[in-house]
């Protein structure tokens, strides 16, 4: 499969089987992540592989976030069960370097690129994944649960498994509708 085919055919797969994923495959996915471009080679990513009962580290963090945001106990408890959606969850965080010559936003960009690399390799391996993010990722309780610094942020959770379906399709707006070609510039 070419890179172009991978990019066009990869889909977010929210429903996966409970089958275990081989450690070698998980390591291939992590290896793809570390090859993302990053300014000044800061390597600002941090990965947490959650499998089996280890997924409940995230589940408990989600409960703590829900409680901190005023959710009732029933809703907070249901947040914990979200980790059962996949046999493996890779939590991906950014830890920006403390260097005035490094633009913090570029550190985030590097980790987002790492996540895309990982998603493409997941697709290449015939596995399925969905990248979940949202307000709970960025909450102080999440930083606390995963031991991130004050500047660090959880940027998403890759829910990984063997896809239940492989016939997923998608549609995109043609690039021409989102592109402006600039060939000349007159002030």
List residues forming the annotated binding site: 10-12, 39, 131-133
Binding site for FMN: which residues? 10-12, 39, 131-133
Tokens of 158: 């890759």
Grouping H, G, I as helix, E, B as strand and the rest as coil, residue 39 is helix
Q: Point out which residues pair with 157 in neighbouring strands.
A: 91, 132
When computed from its CA atoms, the radius of gyration of the chain, rounded to whole angstroms, is 18
CA distances from 123 to 5, 7, 119 (A): 10, 9, 6
* Three-state SS letters, 72-136: CHHHHHHHHHHHHHCCEEEEEEECCCCCCCCCHHHHHHHHHHHHHHHHHHHHHCCCEEEEECCHH
Angle at the Cα of 183 (from 178 to 185), degrees rounded to 5? 110
Nearest to 138 by CA among 126, 148, 128, 125: 148
């Amino acid at each position: 499969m070419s890179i172009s085919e991978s990019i066009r055919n990869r889909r977010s797969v929210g429903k996966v089987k409970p089958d275990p994923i081989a450690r070698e495959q998980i390591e291939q996915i992590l290896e793809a992540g570390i090859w993302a471009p990053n300014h000044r080679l800061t390597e600002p990513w941090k990965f947490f592989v959650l499998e089996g009962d280890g997924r409940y580290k995230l589940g408990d963090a989600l409960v703590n976030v829900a409680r901190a945001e005023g959710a009732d106990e029933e809703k907070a408890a249901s947040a914990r069960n979200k980790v059962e959606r996949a046999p493996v969850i890779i939590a991906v965080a950014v830890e920006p370097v403390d260097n005035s010559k490094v633009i913090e936003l570029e550190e985030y960009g590097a980790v987002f690129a790492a996540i895309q690399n990982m998603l493409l390799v997941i697709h290449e391996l015939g596995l399925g994944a969905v990248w979940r993010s949202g307000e709970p990722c960025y909450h102080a309780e999440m930083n606390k649960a995963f031991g991130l610094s004050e500047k660090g942020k959880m940027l998403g959770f890759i829910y990984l498994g063997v896809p239940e379906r492989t016939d997923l399709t998608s549609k995109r707006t043609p690039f021409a509708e989102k592109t402006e070609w600039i060939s000349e510039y007159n002030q």
